[in-house]
Amino acid sequence: MNGLIRKDLYVADRTGRLLMILALVLSLVPSMGSFGSTYAMMMALMIPLNAIAYDEKCKWDRYAAMLPYKVGQLVWSKYLLAYLFTLLAGGIIVLGGGLRGLITGSAVNWGETLEMILMLGVSMLFVTALGLPTLYRFGSEKGRFIMILILGVGIGISVGLMEIFEEAPKLPSLPLPVVMAAIALLAAAATYSSFRLSVYFYKRRLNGNYN
């Protein structure tokens, strides 16, 4: 598994660095802080998307069939890649917020920043769970547009929910541990179902069932 992750990181090296630098620059602009945070999370999904596209272009699947890797490992490595870059995106948001505070001399609202990271991070879990099976089913070219659409809808829902909670403080609130446990269960169920679907689609595509 480590070898698979390292392969994808090598492939994503140049593109990943460019996207990270751009996300950090956007996060430094006071009027674009929220957009920079959203872009940083979008980056976390673009990396595995590009990795799958490169695999298709280089016929990696045929080569991997001769290596001692199971299909589940090949598929799961892309999920891990998305999660690694999601964590990296969270770090970029924190770094951008801190640097923006130093440049402008204003206090950083870390509570709001962490809330945004949590909301976008949870959104990325569900977007990844929806998007990766789409790539394995339709391929990188067709699946790319569907995945971007899913990403836009997911982020839009997250931002909308944040606005609703801010504008409606009188809504009954549940204890934080209960909310976190419910989200964790939903994310685990979505990830497991997504992974099984991705493995199923990967096998069928490998056998030539999809064009």
- Rounded-to-integer distance, Cα 75 and Cα 198, Å: 7
CA-closest candidate to residue 100, choices 39, 40, 37, 27: 27
For the entire predicted model, the pTM comes to 0.81
Report the distance separating Cα 18 and Cα 33, nearest Å. Answer: 18
DSSP letter string over the chain?
-HHHHHHHHHHHHHHHHHHHHHHHHHHHSGGGHHHHHHHHHHHHHHHHHHHHHHHHHTTHHHHHTTTT--HHHHHHHHHHHHHHHHHHHHHHHHHHHHHHHHHH-PPP-HHHHHHHHHHHHHHHHHHHHHHHHHHHHHHHHHHHHHHHHHHHHHHHHHHHHHHHHHH-TTS----HHHHHHHHHHHHHHHHHHHHHHHHHHHHHHHTT---
Q: Encode the chain (211 residues) as per-residue pLDDT tens digits.
A: 788 888 888 877 767 777 777 777 777 776 665 666 677 777 777 788 888 888 888 888 888 878 888 889 999 999 998 888 888 888 887 887 777 777 776 666 667 777 777 777 787 888 888 888 988 888 877 777 777 777 667 666 666 665 655 555 555 565 656 766 787 788 889 999 999 999 999 988 888 776 6
